[in-house]
Structures are given as structure tokens and as C-alpha cells.
Structure 1
Amino acid sequence: MTTPSPAPLTDSHSHLDVAEFDTDRDAVIARARAAGVTRQVIPAISRAGWDALAALCRTHDGLHPAYGLHPMYLPEHRPEHLADLADTLARERPVAVGECGLDYFVTDLDPDAQRRYFDGQLELAREFDLPLIVHARRAVDEVIARVRRVGGLRGVVHSYSGSYEQASQLWKAGFCLGFGGPVTYERARRLRDIVARMPLEFLLLESDAPDQPLASRRGERNEPMHVAEVLDHVASLRGESRETIAAATRANAARLFALPD
């Protein structure tokens, strides 16, 4: 049983729109709210899902869409989708551009094509003055370099997995770092050290549901409700109260994504 948060929480990264939740999405939202997770930022993964994501977020309070082209779904992307993204950003005014980024862990994803889509989304984020939701797997240095080259950007690197030095470069550039299930594993020593020592004003909580289940729930479908358990681990690692972490991470998400009170 997940212990409810002492203060309202924001899940800064869930994929509540995907097929894994088609049979019980309303119940998943209800369980999240019962655990104190009252807001969710839901980044898109490909052009095909944008319309359904928009409809979902219009239907439920506390759900906030972002639109983008995820690098792991590269085979689904087409060059004209960047123009479609510009039109969607202008029409929908979402909370962010994303999920976008680079993934050099999956070996059959063409790096040059990934870079073209990522660079295009960086430019759109600057043009529309929106934050970015960035996926960076085995690509943190290149993500930092490309963000710096465009300039004038802000956002979050979600499910952060880089070094402390890379993390410091990101928050000095105004980027937050998102942490979820991986921080609950005792073997994730480097990650847990970053969470323990980083400035609280750049820390966000996330589920990445339905992926990245917590250590206590290996093999299960992840849900936004479990952000309340991530909160417990972060508070313990930092030696701070659950109330302090809950309030700070909610404020951080509100500031980054311009979420309403």
C-alpha cells in the first residue's frame, strides 16, 4: 500500500496515454490522486499519439500535455512531423516540448536522424519559449552540447542517469533533473549520491509510468501513484522531511512548466 503524500505531488513524467493503460486509465488516475499525486505532465512519444493525448488532458483535471518526437520511436517519425509539431505548439500551447532527445543505448537507432529531430525540437522550444522534456541515454554530453549551441533553453532531463559533473552542468544551465524508480534501487549508488547532494530547486519527481517500476515492485506495470514512494526514498537520501521534498518538487514543476496553483 502506498502511503499518501503529506502534500500534493506532481508526477513530472508519465505516459498515461499509452495502450498499457487503456483498460483502467480512470482507476489509475484515481489511485494517483488518492496517493497525493494530483498533477501529471504527460509527454508524447510520436505524432500518432498527439490528438489522443490532447483529448485525454482536456477530459481530466490535473493532466498536462507535452508534444514531441521521442528518439526511441525514430522509425515512426517523418520530417514533416516537425512542421506538424510547430503547428500543434502554436494551437495547443502545451506545457513543454517533448519527449525528445538522444538515445545511444539502442544500437539500431540512426544517430544522425536522431540529431536532426532533436535539433529541430530544440529550435521549436526556443521559438515558442517552452521548456523541454529530454531523454538522454548514453548521450548526456552531447545533449548538453546541443542545448548550449541553441541557447536560451530550459527544461528537464528525465530519468537522469549521468554523472554528478554532468548534472551540475545541466542545473547551471537552468535544467532540472527528474528521478523515479531507479533511485529506489540500492545498487544505484551514483544516482542516489546525486539525489542526496544536488540543489533541491532543480529536482523533480517522476514515475515514467508504465516503465521503470520501483525496487519494491519489480516486474510490475508502474503507475503515477508510486511517485509517493519515490518521495520517501528521496527524503531519506537527503535527510529531509517528506513535507519539504513534496513542497519543493511541486514548486519546481510549477515553475518549470508554468502550471497553475
Structure 2
Amino acid sequence: MWTDTHLHLDASEYDSDRLAVVQRARELHVTRFVLPAVGAFNFDEVKSLAHSIPGAVYCLGIHPMFVDKAKEEDLLTLKQKIQASIDDSKFAGLGEIGLDGFVPGLNWDKQVQFFHAQLKLARDFDVPVVMHVRKAQDPVLKGLRIYKPRSGIAHAFNGSFQQADHFLNLNMCLGFGGASTFTRALQLRRLAAKLPEDAMVLETDGPDIAPEWINKQRNAPEHLPRIAETIAELRQSSVEVLSRQTQLNAQRVLPALALHG
């Protein structure tokens, strides 16, 4: 049984076949899904989707790549939506939040402002976080040290071993997916091979970050088992052991997943 801890089912290319995407995944024993929001404009949609899909949970947050178009009042909207969802067993936490130092032209100061504001909400409501961390490992860690949210995931992790240790010490897990399947991704594959067994969760980031065998095509959770086979091979382990451990890890940092199998 597999958990896809990062799936953007609300992306436009899924509009016509969301149910088919989920069904193909379930046939391959991918039974749990985390659906993160990216902005105030899709908070309600993500929540509704999670409630329509068995095994799905949702996160609410403002993605760093959408911060430039966000307004201050969106943070108030987010707070209100958290208050309205806090007793919803399918509400998993804040996400996708974080920082992006890779995409040119993004307003860095505004990203930091929104990230810290959302970390404060996570702390105040005592909920986990699911984070975008691209070319921004140390600034994200700085925010985590200030606000100390209860737990979470550093999505699509691609930092150093030292940075990985810092995230783990802050009760975060590290997300690994399609990028790990590329033979040229040497550092990422070393991380996948050597990190402690309680460090890792699996994800697709569908429809993005496709694995090597469908490079530059649309990704989907049906590819998660084969991604897991690659990571298990790197770890000289079995897919059964990896499945069991990553499920436990995901449930530890996102407890809502334990309620929806």
C-alpha cells in the first residue's frame, strides 16, 4: 500500500479525468493522497476534492510561486478556512507553503513574509506543514526554527545531508519522487540511499516532476510504485519494507492520513 504525499489533482490537465487518475492509482495499491492548495482561489476546491476521494486528505496554503498574485487579505481568508476546517478529519495541515529561490522574477521579500505568516498560523493552530523548498533550504530552516510547527514534509527535497539532518531534527520528513529515478541525479540518489528509514516519504507532485521513463510528460500517482522500486533498489531494501516504513512516516508527520486509508 502506498501514500502519495503530494498530488495536485486540481491542476487543469486533470479536469476531465480526475476519477480515472485515482482509479488507476488504486489499482496499483496507491490508496492515500495528499492534495495541497496553492492559493485562496482553490481552497474550497481542494477541500471538496478530498471529500470526494476515498483515502484523500487536503492542505490549505499559499504556494510561493503564487505569492506575487496573493493579497494580504488572503492570509485572513486562510486563517478563517483553517478555523472552519480544524475539526475536519480530512484536513491535514498547511500546504503548499514555502520558498522558491529558483524561478526568476519572484518577489523574495513577499515570499518570506507570506511563508512566515503561514508558519505562525501552523504554530497557532498546532497543525503540520507541507513545504515547497527550492534553492531555499537554509531560509526555510530559519523559518522552521523560529515558529516550530509540530511536524511536516519538505516536499521534493534536494539539499545536503547536513540540511537533511536539520529538517529531521525539526520533526520534518523529506519527500522523494520522480526526480530520484534519473541516473544523473547523483546527490539526490545518494540521499535516497543513505538517509535514515524514518526520514523519507514518497510523492509524485503529479502532474509535475515526472520520473525518467515518462520524462517531460504528465506525472500521476500510478507511477508511485515504480518510483518506489527505484528507491528501494538504491537503499538495497525491498518495496515491502519501503512501503511499510514510508506509510508510517507519512502518518507520523501528517496524522490525518492515519484516519483515511
TM-score under structure 1 normalisation?
Answer: 0.95
Q: In structure 2, what is the equivalent of residue 27 of structure 1?
A: 20
Aligned to 1:232: 229
Partner of 1:121: 118
Instruction: Give 1:232's aligned amino acid.
Output: E
Match of 2:99 in 1: 102
Tell me what 2:240 maps to: 243
Offset from partner CA, 1:204-227 (integer Å, 9 cap, x none): 000000001100111210001111
| Identical counterparts, % of pairs | 37
Distance of 2:49 and 2:150 partners within structure 1: 28
- Structure 1 residue 217 and structure 2 residue 219: aligned? no
Three-state SS of the structure 1 residue aligned to 2:198 is helix
Q: Which of 131, 135, 141 is equivalent to 1:134? A: 131
Determine which of 249, 253, 260 is the counterpart of 1:252.
249
Cα distance, 1:152 vs structure 2: 4.4
Select 1:64's aligned residue among 57, 60, 81. 57
Aligned counterpart in structure 1 of residue 158 of structure 2, from 157, 161, 185: 161
State the partner residue of 2:147: 150
Q: Please say which of residues 142-151 and 30-39 is displaced more in the overlay.
A: 142-151
Residue 81 of structure 1 corresponds to 74
In the other structure, the counterpart of 1:40 is 33
CA distance in 2, matches of 1:213, 1:70: 20
1:11 aligns to 2:8 (yes or no) = no
On the 8 A contact 2:38/2:63 being kept in 1, the answer is yes
Aligned counterparts of 2:143 and 2:43: Cα–Cα separation in 1: 25
> Which residue, 184, 189, 214 being the options, matches 2:186?
189
Compute the TM-score of the two structures, normalised by the length of structure 2. 0.95
Q: Which runs of 4+ in 1 moved over 4 A?
A: none
The letter of the residue matching 1:12 is T
Task: Please give the alpha-carbon distance, in whole angstroms, between the structure 1 residues aligned to 2:35 and 2:244.
Answer: 20
Q: CA deviation at 1:75?
A: 2.8
Deviations 1:114-165 (A, max 9, x none): 0010001100111111111011111101111111012244211000011111
How many residues align? The count is 254
Residue type at the aligned position of 2:162: E
RMSD between aligned alpha carbons?
A: 1.0
Note the residue ranges of structure 1 that are not aligned, 5 or more in a row.
Answer: 1-7
